[in-house]
Chain A
Amino acid sequence: MKIVICGGNKEADFVIRAFKKAGHTITVINGNEAIARQLSENNGIDVILSDPTKVYSYKDADVYDYDLIVSLLENDEDNFVVCKIAKQLFNVKKAICTVQNPDNVAVFKKLGVDSPISASYLLTEKIKGESDVESLIKTLSLENEKIMITEILIKDTFALVGKCLKEVKFPHECNVCCIYRDSTMIIPRGDTKIASGDTVVIASTPSDQEEIVSYMKRED
């Protein structure tokens, strides 16, 4: 993939290292001379010292038809404009940027930024996930939070223990993807019995997740 990375400091360094390791072609634009030099030295790459909020920077960098832009500037509106310049004027296929104001995540998506990332938004989601379901449950969201993967550790007090999957009446549509038992993975079938100590992995929609989890945790 061809990727252009704009602005940022430590996070830019991290992203550059990761993309470089994965073998992608990367172009880096940074407006701060000291940071640009640092990024260049750390990663052994050329960094274009130019204002990332200007159209000419992208023309000079020749980023036409790139696959991805990652914008790591401080201001939300600067990141918005950078993503718009890349997509609209240079035909860059996908835009990812950081946002400070968590409310902007939804707004940016509606205005055509593919993946706006807000640290506080992610943090809140993470805390929600952790506090709802304690430590025995881990969740992962895929495809912009349209799919939730939930991992539940089955305690011996749960009502589900000893039941076959086909007997379990889940409150919503979901799929038990796999069961992890004694260090081996079991692909479940209807007659697979749930045992205490199993880790059950379930795919569902985010809105159904909470009810499915509380159903599985029932102890009566």
Chain B
Amino acid sequence: MIGKSEKKTIVVIGSSKLGASIASYNSSRGIYTVIVDKDASSFKKLDPNFSGFTVEGNAEEQYVLLKAHVDTAKEVDIVTDNDNTNIFIACFLVKFYKIPYINVRLHDTTKSCLLPHEVNIISPYLLSLNLYKELKAKEEDK
């Protein structure tokens, strides 16, 4: 099990398609993974071979986060479908816990500056836009 001094858990918040895939991926690499969602039925999206833990509950509440072992996490991925929920949880974790890596999905990039500098932002909008530009560049090269 996890030792207090040794941070090696990955906690995924939000069992969205992306969240479930991140959790399944890390679990398949033998990493102790915990996934949190307020709706237990969303855990169906996890890979059938997922060997991590699921926690049903609202991750805006501290006791749910502790149940998921955020205090000993080396990485927390916050990927619920709601930007404001993600921002709130990220600010909360940065303020109260020392977590080496925090990744946050954000749809609305105008809110990027509300997040603490320590967190990494995953922006589907920017990723799509950049891919589009790459495709366009390739097309023009031909």
Task: Show the binding face of A for B, using Cβ within 8 Å.
Answer: 53-56, 75-78, 80-81, 84-85, 88-89, 101, 103-104, 107, 110-111
The smallest beta-carbon distance between A105 and chain B, in angstroms, is 13
The smallest beta-carbon distance between B113 and chain A, in angstroms, is 7
Which residues from chain A contact B91 at a C-beta distance below 8 Å? 80, 84, 111
- Closest residue of chain A to B63 (Cβ to Cβ) is A103
Complex: A103 Cα to B111 Cα, angstroms: 25
Instruction: Known A101-B60, A101-B61; judge A84-B110 contact (CB<8 A).
Output: no
B88 touching A80, Cβ below 8 Å: yes
Complex: A200 Cα to B114 Cα, angstroms: 48
Which residues from chain B contact A76 at a C-beta distance below 8 Å? 60, 88
B84 touching A55, Cβ below 8 Å: no
The smallest beta-carbon distance between B140 and chain A, in angstroms, is 32
Instruction: Known A77-B60, A77-B82, A103-B61; judge A84-B95 contact (CB<8 A).
Output: no
Among A85, A104, A107, contact of B111 (Cβ-Cβ < 8 Å): A85
A88 touching B110, Cβ below 8 Å: no
The 6 closest A-B pairs by CB, nearest first: A77-B88, A55-B110, A81-B84, A77-B84, A77-B85, A80-B88
The smallest beta-carbon distance between B92 and chain A, in angstroms, is 6
B84 touching A78, Cβ below 8 Å: yes
B92 touching A111, Cβ below 8 Å: yes
The smallest beta-carbon distance between A98 and chain B, in angstroms, is 15
The smallest beta-carbon distance between A191 and chain B, in angstroms, is 52
Which residues from chain A contact B60 at a C-beta distance below 8 Å? 76-77, 101, 104
- Closest residue of chain B to A82 (Cβ to Cβ) is B84
User: C-beta contact mask, B51-94 vs A, less than 8 Å → 1, else 0?
Assistant: 00000000011100000000000000000001111011001100
Which residues from chain B contact A55 at a C-beta distance below 8 Å? 108, 110-111
Complex: A209 Cα to B110 Cα, angstroms: 47
- Closest residue of chain A to B111 (Cβ to Cβ) is A55
Which residues from chain A contact B108 at a C-beta distance below 8 Å? 54-55
Within 8 A of A (CB), among B92-140: 92, 95-96, 108, 110-111, 113-114
B114 touching A110, Cβ below 8 Å: no
Complex: A11 Cα to B83 Cα, angstroms: 26
The smallest beta-carbon distance between B122 and chain A, in angstroms, is 18
- Closest residue of chain A to B83 (Cβ to Cβ) is A81
Complex: A111 Cα to B88 Cα, angstroms: 9
Which residues from chain A contact B111 at a C-beta distance below 8 Å? 55, 81, 85
B87 touching A110, Cβ below 8 Å: no
- Closest residue of chain A to B89 (Cβ to Cβ) is A77
Complex: A10 Cα to B138 Cα, angstroms: 56
A56 touching B87, Cβ below 8 Å: no
A110 touching B95, Cβ below 8 Å: yes
B114 touching A84, Cβ below 8 Å: yes
The smallest beta-carbon distance between B38 and chain A, in angstroms, is 13
Complex: A81 Cα to B83 Cα, angstroms: 9
B113 touching A81, Cβ below 8 Å: no
